[in-house]
C-alpha cells in the first residue's frame, strides 16, 4: 500500500521523463542521477515533458511500488528552487509541496503563516 508522510524524503527528477518507463527504467534513473539509495524508503518523483503525467517510485518493506497519476486538465507544477533543497544533483521537496502538487494547487501562490 502506498502511504506518504513527513517521515519520508521526496526527491524530484528535474528533467523530462518518458512515462513508458517502469520499475527498472525509473530505478535506473534514480541510480544514475541521484546520490541517494534506491531502497531507502524515500520517494522519487518523475514528470513527463508536458507535465500532465506524474509517477512516484518508492521502496516499501517487500518491494517497489509505483503511483501513477494523469491529469485530465491542467498541468503539474514543477517546484521552484525555493521549494526545493538543491544540493549538487539532489532536488528534495517537502511532503506538503508534494500534496499540493498532486492536488493541482500552485505552490508559488501559497503563503505560509508564522507558527
Q: Is 43 exposed, middle or buried (0-12, 13-18, 19+ CB in 10 A)?
A: buried
105 or 63, higher pLDDT: 63
* Residue 63 resides in a domain: yes
Which has the higher per-residue pLDDT, 1 or 96?
96
Tell me if 95 is assigned to some domain. no
Q: Which residues contact 4 (CB under 8 A, 6 or more apart)?
A: 43, 95, 98, 99
Domain membership flag for residue 38? yes
CB 82 within 8 A of CB 58: no
User: Considering only CA atoms, which of 28, 33, 36, 30 is closest in space to residue 9?
Assistant: 36
* Cell, residue 91: 532536488
- The answer to the question of residue 74 being in a domain is yes
For residue 77, being part of any structural domain is answered with yes
What are the φ and ψ backbone dihedral angles of 57, each rounded to 5 degrees?
-115, 130
Domain count, the chain: 1
pTM reported for the whole predicted model: 0.84
Q: Is residue 49 part of a domain?
A: yes
Residue 68 lies in a domain: yes
Mean pLDDT, the chain, integer: 85
* pLDDT on residue 80: 67
Q: Is residue 114 part of a domain?
A: no
Range of the domain at 79: 13-89+102-108
Amino acid at each position: 500500500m502506498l502511504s506518504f508522510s513527513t517521515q519520508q524524503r521526496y526527491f524530484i527528477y528535474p528533467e523530462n521523463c518518458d512515462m513508458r518507463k517502469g520499475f527498472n527504467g525509473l530505478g535506473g534513473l534514480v541510480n544514475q542521477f541521484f546520490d541517494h539509495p534506491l531502497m531507502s524508503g524515500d520517494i522519487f518523483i518523475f514528470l513527463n515533458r508536458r507535465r500532465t503525467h506524474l509517477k512516484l517510485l518508492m521502496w516499501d518493506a517487500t518491494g517497489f511500488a509505483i503511483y501513477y497519476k494523469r491529469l485530465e486538465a491542467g498541468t503539474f507544477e514543477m517546484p521552484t528552487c525555493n521549494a526545493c533543497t538543491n544540493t549538487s544533483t539532489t532536488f528534495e521537496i517537502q511532503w506538503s509541496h508534494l500534496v499540493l502538487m498532486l492536488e493541482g494547487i500552485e505552490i508559488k501562490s501559497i503563503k505560509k503563516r508564522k507558527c
